[in-house]
C-alpha cells in the first residue's frame, strides 16, 4: 500500500488525511494516529503490518503481517521519509547570491538556524525528510553536522531507507556526509542525498567511507531491503 493508498483508505473510513496527494505530512500522520487509536492499535503514526492490515480490511485489525514480496524488492509498507527524499530529487541550491527558499523553509519548520544554502545542507535535507514524515522521531543535536547523525535512531544494516553516515576528507577528522541508502554495487553505496553537486540526487559513495547506518527508532516495525544496482560512473569524493 503506497502513500496515496493509505490516504484513500483513511479517507474512506472517516479519517481526514488532509488530501489524497501522495505526500506524507503531519495531517496524514495525525489521521493514522486517530485511526490506530480508534482500532485499539499502538498510536505511533507508523503504518506497520498491523495498521496496514487494518486499513486494508476496512478497519478490522489483524495480527497477521502482510506478505513480503517474493525475492525481496520493495518493502510492504512505504518508507515515508525515503519517499519524501525521492520526491525532492532535483531540488537545487541557488548558486547565485540568494538561496533556494525551499531549502531555507526546511530549516525554518525545524527551528534550525540556517540562512544560506552556501552552507553544506546534506544534514538539513535528511532532517527535513525525517522531521516532515516522522514528527515524533527525535533528531540528533546539531543535525547540520553530518557525523552527528551517528547518534540518530538505531544502528542497522545498510538497506533502502537507512541513513548512511560517511567520513569526508579524513576518517579521523570532523567533516562528513549523510544521505539515504538507495542501493549498492560491489564498490559503492548509491546515496540519495542533498548537497551532492549542489542538488538532491543519487551519488555513488565508496563503501570504504561508511561510518554508520542508522534507522528511525519510531519506525522499528518497518524494514528496508538490500538493493543491488548497476555500478556505473565515478565515485563521489567531496559532497560539500
Rounded Cα distance, 181 and 189, in Å:
7
For residue 113, being part of any structural domain is answered with: yes
84, 219 contact by CB (below 8 A): no
Mean pLDDT over each residue of the chain, to the nearest integer: 90
For residues 225-238, give the mean pLDDT: 91
Strand (E) or helix (H) holding 28: helix 26-38
Q: Provide the β-strand partners of residue 184.
A: 189, 228
Q: Is the pLDDT of residue 231 over 90?
A: no
- Residue 86, domain member (yes or no): yes
Q: State pLDDT tens for residues 165-190.
A: 999 999 999 999 999 999 999 999 99
For residues 185-199, average pLDDT: 96
124 plus 195 within the same structural domain: yes
- Indicate yes or no: pTM above 0.75: yes
Residue 93 predicted with pLDDT over 90: yes
Confidence of residue 64 (pLDDT cuts 50, 70, 90): very low
CATH number of the domain encompassing residue 46: 1.10.101.10
- Among 95, 87, 194, 71, residue whose Cα is nearest residue 133: 87
Number of compact structural domains in the chain? 2
Report if residue 210 sits inside a domain.
Answer: yes
Is the domain of 38 the same as that of 118?
no
pLDDT of residue 59: 57
pLDDT at 76 over 70: no
- Same structural domain, 176 and 138: yes
Domain coverage including residue 43: 3-56
Amino acid at each position: 500500500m503506497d502513500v496515496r493508498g493509505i490516504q484513500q483508505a483513511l479517507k474512506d473510513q472517516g479519517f481526514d488525511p488532509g488530501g489524497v496527494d501522495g505526500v506524507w505530512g503531519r495531517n496524514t500522520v495525525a489521521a493514522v494516529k486517530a485511526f490506530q487509536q480508534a482500532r485499539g492499535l499502538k498510536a505511533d503514526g507508523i503504518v506497520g503490518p498491523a495498521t496496514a492490515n487494518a486499513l486494508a480490511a476496512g478497519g478490522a485489525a489483524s495480527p497477521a503481517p502482510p506478505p513480503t514480496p517474493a525475492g525481496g524488492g520493495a518493502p510492504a509498507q512505504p518508507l515515508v521519509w525515503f519517499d519524501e527524499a525521492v520526491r525532492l530529487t532535483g531540488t537545487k541550491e541557488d548558486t547565485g547570491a540568494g538561496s533556494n527558499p525551499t531549502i531555507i523553509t526546511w530549516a525554518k519548520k525545524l527551528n534550525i538556524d540556517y540562512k544560506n544554502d552556501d552552507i553544506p545542507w546534506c544534514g538539513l535535507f535528511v532532517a527535513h525528510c525525517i522531521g516532515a514524515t516522522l514528527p515524533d522521531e527525535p533528531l540528533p543535536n546539531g543535525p547540520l553536522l553530518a557525523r552527528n547523525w551517528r547518534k540518530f535512531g538505531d544502528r542497522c544494516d545498510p538497506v533502502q531507507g537507512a541513513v548512511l553516515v560517511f567520513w569526508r576528507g579524513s576518517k579521523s577528522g570532523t567533516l562528513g556526509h549523510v544521505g539515504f541508502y538507495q542501493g549498492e554495487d560491489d564498490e559503492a553505496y548509491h546515496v540519495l542525498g542533498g548537497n551532492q553537486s549542489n542538488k538532491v540526487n543519487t551519488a555513488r559513495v565508496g563503501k570504504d567511507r561508511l561510518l554508520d547506518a542508522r534507522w528511525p527508532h519510531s519506525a522499528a516495525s518497518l524494514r528496508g531491503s538490500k538493493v543491488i544496482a548497476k555500478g556505473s560512473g565515478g565515485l563521489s569524493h567531496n559532497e560539500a
